[in-house]
């Protein structure tokens, strides 16, 4: 097990803290279902600051490459992952405002004296995954056509044959 990076989000922002590290993709357990292979790593940089209005904020930059499962051929497809998220810290007891009314480049996040940075990284990677991972058009290893008729054999035909037995 690796050490989890934990920070006091308000103090980190007010002190203009910076944290740079890399986390193995294999350590991000909630991500495994979307992956073909859990190899690789995600580099992250967390920076704290106080904005012009005196509100504490965090900036999270992520980068890495994931090996996802193509939804057409179920084979591996490499996906470059780069993201930058800005968070305005809101006191824990205060309700978050409607995201539709927030600035497009800033999200709200409850302030946490024990903010798990790895969990935040994992959340942002999961939110940044493509809806449907896939190869470029024509790059999948699709089933080959039936050489006699020139058409593809449906996998359901094999199931129908098994059902009749």
Q: What is the pLDDT of residue 86?
A: 92
Return the H-helix or E-strand segment holding 109.
strand 106-110
Q: What is the pLDDT of residue 23?
A: 93
Helix ranges (H only) for 3-116 are 9-14
From residue 80, alpha-carbon distances to 77, 130, 133 in Å are: 10, 11, 12
Gap between the Cα atoms of 81 and 128, Å rounded: 8
pLDDT tens, position by position, 84-138:
999 998 888 777 776 666 666 788 888 899 999 999 999 999 988 888 777 777 7
**Prediction pTM value:** 0.75
Q: What is the pLDDT of residue 1?
A: 42
pLDDT tens, position by position, 7-59:
999 999 999 999 999 999 999 999 888 888 888 899 999 999 998 888 899 99
């Amino acid at each position: 097990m690796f050490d989890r990076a934990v920070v006091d989000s308000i103090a980190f922002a007010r002190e203009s803290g910076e944290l740079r590290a890399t986390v193995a993709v294999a350590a991000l357990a909630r991500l495994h279902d979307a992956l073909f292979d859990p190899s690789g790593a995600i580099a992250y940089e967390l920076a704290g600051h106080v904005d012009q209005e005196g509100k504490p904020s965090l900036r999270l930059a992520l980068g890495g490459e994931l090996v996802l499962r193509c939804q057409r051929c179920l084979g591996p497809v490499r996906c470059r992952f780069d993201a930058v998220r800005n968070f305005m810290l809101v006191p824990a007891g205060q309700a978050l405002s409607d995201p539709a009314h927030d600035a497009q480049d800033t999200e709200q996040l409850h302030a946490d004296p024990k903010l798990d940075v790895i969990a935040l990284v994992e959340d942002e990677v999961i939110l940044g995954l493509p809806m449907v991972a896939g190869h470029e058009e024509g790059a999948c290893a699709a089933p080959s056509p039936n050489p006699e008729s020139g058409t593809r054999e449906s996998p359901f035909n094999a199931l129908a044959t098994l059902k009749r037995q």
